Structure 1
Amino acid sequence: MDLSTLVPLTTGVTLLACVLAVAGLHAYAMGKAQRAELADRLSRTGQVATGRRRRFRGLDRRLRHTRLGRRLELRLAATGLDLTPGDFLAYMCATVVALWLIGQAALAPFFGPLTGLIGVWVAVQFLNWQRQKRIERFIGQLPELARILANATQAGLALRTAIGMAAEELEAPAGQELAKVAHQLALGASMDDALGELTDRLPSRELVVLVTTLVLSNRAGGQVVSALRNLTETLEERKETRREIRTQLSQVNMTSYAVPVLGVGALFLMNGVKAGALDRMTGSPVGQIAVITAFALYAVGFVLIRRLSRIDV
């Protein structure tokens, strides 16, 4: 083959290969982006879309591939907060850094890491508090939920239809959680799996009893109406009992939070009375050990008070 013919042919083949390579890279990038978007959408199946633009989508995808991220997502779903695992982790890190700098500047450099650890503890306790508050509200709605399901099944409606109707009539959080269950049932999930995920999100004895009743009745075809009627009365009695116990233990719960607050306040008071006192105190290993021991004792006191005041009904 002539050299004058080979050069244009080689150039043309090279350009074609480059065009195909660029097209392939573009198709790969588009496919990867669509796959990531689909995975992000499927991971939020059953959750109410807010339309708010997420700032940490990449971090969300990485966290959801880890066991810790999945547990965190389940915990956030139980709180009802409009946060993703990436949002929570980013905000928690920002809070830790801010508390670190504040503790280091207001008290002493030694207190920077301690206040950072307190920031992590506060974030976890905030999640637990939001989750427990939502569970309590959901438990308070269980008698009305059982009543609606009993009336719907007595009218001849199927249990799936009754759950969808209860989701429309009840307010949050019961309405939102039942909407997720109805959505999962519409996508083909079984009744056992959908209700099982509900008990995982909002664990409580009352909900477990209700879910067990519904699942067994759905499997065996028993008397759903009579079982739900009896369960409604039981849930009403447990609701009143829990309210009385919560009222009696309110002072004890406030004491558990007041103990560590008084300890931290004493540090600010000490540093305010004599400037630089904390610097000198934490400048030696003995002082650092004393401060760490004091923080540990306050934490143990908080946990013990909470444990001793916990009454299972």
Structure 2
Amino acid sequence: MTTILFVTILAFVSITLLIWSIKHLSAKFALRYHDTFTSSARTNLADMFLFIEPRQLFIINMVMLFSLPIIFRIFFGSWILGVVISIFLALIPRFAYKFLHKKRRRKFVHQLPDALNMIATSMQSGANVSSAIEFMAEEMESPMKQEFQLFLREQRLGVEFNKALDNMLVRIPEDEFQLVTAGMQISREVGGNLAEVLARLSDTLRRKIEMEGKIDALTSQGKMQGVVMTLLPIFIGVVLYHMEPESMGRILTEPMGWALMLLIAIMLTSGYLSIRKIVAIDV
């Protein structure tokens, strides 16, 4: 009787400690995830001049994370698949920020030749550098307009010309813009015809972008083949699931099926990345 009582007390204490530990760790993890998500969203969105409240994005993200397992349980009868997709969804914001940053930087680079040409033309007409940049910033579209307006605002607050350019280079770390920054800084320090330098840089960058466009056109078929070959097994799996739901449903409800889906995901991802690496040509 004493042994049974001791075992019961020990089991109660163990379960209580386990529940307390899980609750404490989950609350700590949730707080850390909230802080990381909001701080990352605030920094990345501000860098892209997107003034969205991070808390609203966090609430939307959490609703999607908790609703996906329920949706997959209702429509596919599997909790595990919904949980796995929710985990992947929690990692998506980091890659989404990188994708948006890269897209914005490439758009900035494609606007550079026209922007430099406008600055050079204004300077040849008698305007100084600041006035030429201000005129260009008013006429160009974002992100060129946003970045150079911030550049002019920093100068009005007392930041040196070279330092303001370096700050912009930190926000737009592209090789093409680094070339422009170096050319403008050297021309101001050493002396020379800055308008002519900017005109030559504009012509050089325009030719480089044109060559990159030709290469993208030639490699677009390979990129599309990579996308098609990656999505084809998924499409076939969905079709077979609708044709034979009982047989294919075992992939979503049995451990062997989960392992098979994980293996398929790894192989498809590896194949897609390999094709992207083959067709990626750096100019």
Q: TM-score, normalised to structure 1's length? A: 0.67
Q: Which amino acid aligns with 2:118?
A: I
Aligned residue runs from structure 1 range 47-66, under 5 A: 63=35
Q: What residue number does 1:169 align with?
A: 139
Gaps of 5+ in 2: 1-30
Cα distance in 1, alignment partners of residues 95 and 221 from structure 2:
19
CA deviation string 1:237-265 (max 9, x = no partner): 11211221222222333333334433433
Cα distance in 1, alignment partners of residues 186 and 54 from structure 2:
35
| Cα drift, residue 84 of structure 1 | 4.8
Q: Secondary structure at the match of 2:280?
A: coil
Q: What residue number does 1:255 align with?
A: 225
Cα distance in 1, alignment partners of residues 67 and 224 from structure 2:
26
Q: What residue number does 2:240 align with?
A: 270
Q: Please state if 1:288 is matched with 2:258.
A: yes
Aligned residue runs from structure 1 range 206-225, under 5 A: 206-225=176-195
Answer yes or no: is the 8 Å Cα contact 2:38–2:58 preserved in 1. no
Cα distance in 2, alignment partners of residues 166 and 160 from structure 1:
10
Cα distance in 2, alignment partners of residues 81 and 253 from structure 1:
30
Q: TM-score, normalised to structure 2's length? A: 0.73
| Cα drift, residue 228 of structure 1 | 1.1
Q: What residue number does 1:230 align with?
A: 200
| Cα drift, residue 112 of structure 1 | 0.9
Picking from 42, 52, 69, the partner of 1:83 is 52
CA deviation string 1:291-313 (max 9, x = no partner): 11111222222222222222222
User: Number of matched residues?
Assistant: 250
CA deviation string 1:166-216 (max 9, x = no partner): 111212221122112112222222333332332333332211111121222
Q: What residue number does 1:106 align with?
A: 75
Q: What residue number does 1:298 align with?
A: 268
Q: Please state if 1:139 is matched with 2:109.
A: yes
Q: 1:235 to 1:96 in 2, by over 3 A?
A: same
Cα RMSD (Å): 3.0
Q: 1:289 to 1:72 in 2, by over 3 A?
A: same
Q: 1:125 to 1:309 in 2, by over 3 A?
A: farther
| Cα drift, residue 145 of structure 1 | 1.0
Q: Secondary structure at the match of 2:79?
A: coil
| Cα drift, residue 105 of structure 1 | 3.4
Gaps of 5+ in 1: 1-58
Cα distance in 2, alignment partners of residues 305 and 84 from structure 1:
38
Q: Which amino acid aligns with 2:207?
A: E
Q: Please state if 1:185 is matched with 2:159.
A: no
Going by fraction, where is helix more abundant, 1 or 2? 2
Cα distance in 1, alignment partners of residues 62 and 271 from structure 2:
27
Answer yes or no: is the 8 Å Cα contact 1:79–1:127 preserved in 2. no
Q: Secondary structure at the match of 2:236?
A: helix
Aligned residue runs from structure 1 range 190-205, under 5 A: 190-205=160-175
Q: Which moved more, 1:122-131 or 1:296-305?
A: 122-131
